[in-house]
Amino acid sequence: MVTLERLRAEHAPALLAFERDNRAYFARSVPDRGDAYFTPAGFAARHASLLAEQEAGVCHFHVVLDQNGNLAGRVNLIDAAEGAAELGYRVGERSAGRGVATAAVAEACRLAGTLYSLTALTAVTTLDNPASTTVLTRNAFTHVANTTVDNRPGASYIRRLTP
């Protein structure tokens, strides 16, 4: 149903278009990235920075492609260290509610345990984002604590991975 591709330089044009197209949609549930991010120069600088982090092995960034090969989302494994990383993901408005996020997170979990040799993933979400909570619980993440996310009530989750 979905395919994850490791982030590459050539993803930049499609990724910028995806972020621009979904800016208002994403801003409903997560803080906006700011106007500078959406400029060609600002986006290019951020994209280059992400690729450098990935090259250093600190993070593993992925684009999510739908069954037609269109960019439908992103899934990231951030701050990989000591066998663990934080999972982050976003799916565009046109793909929301269609199982894309659940499938993409499932594939990211598989890659985390096999390709990246991680043994645990953590994730956080706000309590007013039940769709994100559903994605995590459907992928065997366990609630571990209440927290705040950008000054909003949230929850922390963990998933242990086996190779």
Say which CATH number the domain at 69 has: 3.40.630.30
Q: What angle, rounded to 10 degrees, do the helices at 130-138 and 100-114 form?
A: 40
Are 44 and 52 a contacting pair, CB within 8 Å?
A: no
pTM (2 d.p.): 0.93
Per-residue pLDDT, 8:
97
DSSP string for 18-56: HHHHTHHHHHTTS----GGGGSHHHHHHHHHHHHHHHHT
Per-residue pLDDT, 50:
96
One digit per residue, the tens of pLDDT, for the chain of length 163 reads: 899 999 999 999 999 999 999 999 998 887 778 888 889 999 999 999 999 999 999 999 999 999 999 999 999 999 999 999 999 999 999 999 999 999 999 999 999 999 999 999 999 999 988 999 999 999 999 999 999 988 889 999 999 998 6
| Residue linked to tokens 């996020």 | 101
Q: How many domains does the chain have?
A: 1
> By residue range, what is the domain housing residue 139?
3-160
Per-residue pLDDT, 37:
87
